[in-house]
Chain A
């Protein structure tokens, strides 16, 4: 299992600003995942954060908008850049275990952009 600390838990931001979300895991993990959950919707994978290399982004998501850092095997950040109201969502980090696909999630960051 893995315990994930994600912060901030919520924030209200102004249009055009940026927010960095942090995700700390209590054990070393190879891959960390960042998801977005728009209001009332399911989870959409933004990118996979790989330690020592650039993140792998899913279709529709770009590095300039969602830069990701992964400095070591227990930590990652996701930045939501130049925010607009359409970025209002819950952002979730997660980690996998041993290749079987089970994910552990952080508690999420609820972002509101005014």
Chain B
């Protein structure tokens, strides 16, 4: 069963706006990751945040993690049409444990 649940399921924004996507999970985690998938192709790793971290940045990406609420958010600032993709959060419970993916969010960025 899926550990992570993202919301919203779909998001449509104008180019230049910020996109915020949320992920909630049920059990304790070792780390949480976000992946992007373009047009049903392979997933690309975006960012990993460990359970003892609260915030992490990578370029236009900002990820937060609230372990007390078992939730994470992914913020994409100054969105571009090329950011149009599906975004998945994934969690794992420890070293060498399998990743469990959420259902994904479809982001559309209108030029």
Contacts and interface: CB of A to CB of B under 8 A. Distances in A.
B12 interface: no
Interface string A37-69: 100011101001000000000000000000000
A103 B99 contact: yes
Contacts of B97: 101
A104 B103 CA distance: 19
Interface of A: 4, 6, 31, 33, 37, 41-43, 45, 48, 90, 92, 94, 96, 99-108, 110
Contacts of A107: 41-42
Chain A interface mostly: strand
A94 B48 CA distance: 17
Nearest to A37: B40
Contact of A105 (B30, B43, B92, B102): B43
B33 A101 contact: yes
A101 B30 contact: yes
Given A92-B42, A106-B42, A108-B41, A101 B99 contact: yes
Contact of B92 (A6, A31, A101, A110): A101
